[in-house]
Amino acid sequence: MSLNTSNAVYDARTLGTPRMLVLGIQHMFAMFGATVLVPALTGLSVSSTLLFAGLGTLLFHLLTKWKVPAFLGSSFAFIGGYAAIAPMLPDANGNASVPNTEMLPYACFGVVCAGLLYVVLAGLFVSFGTKRVMRYFPPIVTGPVIISIGLTLSKTAIDSCRANWGIALVAIAVVVGCNIWGRGMIKIIPILLGVIASYLVAALTNNVDFSGVIAADWLGFPFRLEDTMFGLFSRPDLDKGMLLTSAVTIMPLALATMVEHIGGICAISSTCKRNYLQDPGLHRTLLGDGLATSLAALFGAPANTTYGENTGVLALSRVYDPRVIRIAACLAILLSFSPKFAALVSAMPTATMGGVSMVLYGMISAVGVRNIVENQVDFTNSRNVIIAAIIMVLAIGVNYSGSVVFSLGGVEVSLSGLAVAAIAGILLNAVLPGKDYEFRADLDDGATEE
């Protein structure tokens, strides 16, 4: 699956409105599985999640001057924070599956605070300049982090495929076949076709439970006021100590997610052959991501982050116009008001999303490899080998052995493997001698501007 951009599309209007709409639908389906998984794991509202994924994406595009083709969906990095403040409650059978509606707003307060840290880092970029700050985020750090993003997600894809390998293989075969041998529009929308084909096969073989779809209403409001910050602060029994605990527990996670954000923007830049780190600038992308996260949490939705799944779609389709992402965002907003649609997509077989995710997560790691190659990182230099090795081993090893847990101010804080790896990579790059990376205004010699 070549990432050659010789036939890339930067203005989707040349494809016509119907094709742009289909491309937007494809991006929506690509993000849907992971986006709705976060509320499923935390107890937050699926409809609210969709609404603020869409609104957050549009806010991000506004703040980045409509230039960056990124979709903002639910962040997995904060799941540990939600679990610490508002763990799921046991049901009648003893399974932890009941949302902790009493404590979830407190967790959301911590996420609001975490989102504001992005604003602080954005201010550092403005104060000291991108070039100076980016010295701490060279390709030898961001490349392995991007690779690790795909690899750490791989277990999720495989576990999903195991639900029904036959259905998963249908999705994989259609995605690969359309991308390699497809022509015209078929080649541009392999993900959407893979989802449809696999879902259809699952339905025809009685592997889909539509009972929830039948019971769901056609229209409904995405969130309840009592689940928002406004509802929380109107409580007569508001626990201010718990507010502080939530902030102290969840805010440190933003240190890792901000590094992941930089890696995500590097991945999108490398995929699209556009230097979004320079124009519109990391200060704008961080500001957009952070404010979108705070906005979502303010109304009881999960934290947002730039989505690797959609970066994978960009790499596969080679249609890099941000307009198609905004179409997906508008569709997510529209459909958030339909519980029946949310139920329909939630009924999508786990194996279908697993098959599609296997390809997309692999594409993320491939983009990380490309980032290293195109920046000509010298792996005969022991310094670079050590940094890359530590990042990838920590990211994958900690991910599969358990989070790193420590106490901060008497509060237990849990960091994911990717968070630990990103922090370790930044620190190693800062202290080891031999730094020779200098951030350039042009992403690479082949970069072109619109």
Which of 75-84, 151-160, 201-210, 306-315 ranks highest by mean pLDDT? 201-210
440 has pLDDT over 80: no
pTM of the model: 0.72
How many angstroms from the chain centroid is the CA of residue 224?
Answer: 25
What pLDDT was estimated at residue 450?
A: 31
pLDDT digits over 360-375, tens only? 778 778 878 887 887 8
pLDDT digits over 167-195, tens only? 999 999 998 998 888 876 677 677 778 88
**Sign of dihedral through CA atoms 265, 364, 274, 9?**
negative
What pLDDT was estimated at residue 78?
A: 80
pLDDT category, 409, cuts 50, 70, 90? low
Question: Average pLDDT of the chain?
Answer: 84
Structure tokens at 185: 């529009």
Mean pLDDT of 282-306: 94
Every domain of the chain and the residues it spans: 12-431
310 has pLDDT over 50: yes
Q: Show the DSSP H helices in 273-348 as ranges.
A: 282-298, 308-317, 322-335, 339-346
Partners of 407 in the β-ladder: 412
Taking the C-alpha atoms of residue 446 and residue 6, their distance in angstroms, rounded to an integer, is 11
Mean pLDDT of 7-23: 90
What pLDDT was estimated at residue 256?
A: 66
Long-range contacts of residues 342-346, Cβ cutoff 8 Å, at least 24 apart: 342/36, 342/46, 342/47, 342/50, 342/216, 343/212, 343/213, 343/215, 343/216, 344/213, 345/29, 345/32, 345/36, 346/36, 346/40, 346/46, 346/212
What pLDDT was estimated at residue 437?
A: 78
How many angstroms from the chain centroid is the CA of residue 63?
Answer: 18
Taking the C-alpha atoms of residue 216 and residue 280, their distance in angstroms, rounded to an integer, is 42
What pLDDT was estimated at residue 307?
A: 80
- On whether the CB atoms of residues 174 and 191 are closer than 8 A, the answer is no
pLDDT digits over 229-240, tens only? 999 998 888 888
Taking the C-alpha atoms of residue 261 and residue 175, their distance in angstroms, rounded to an integer, is 27
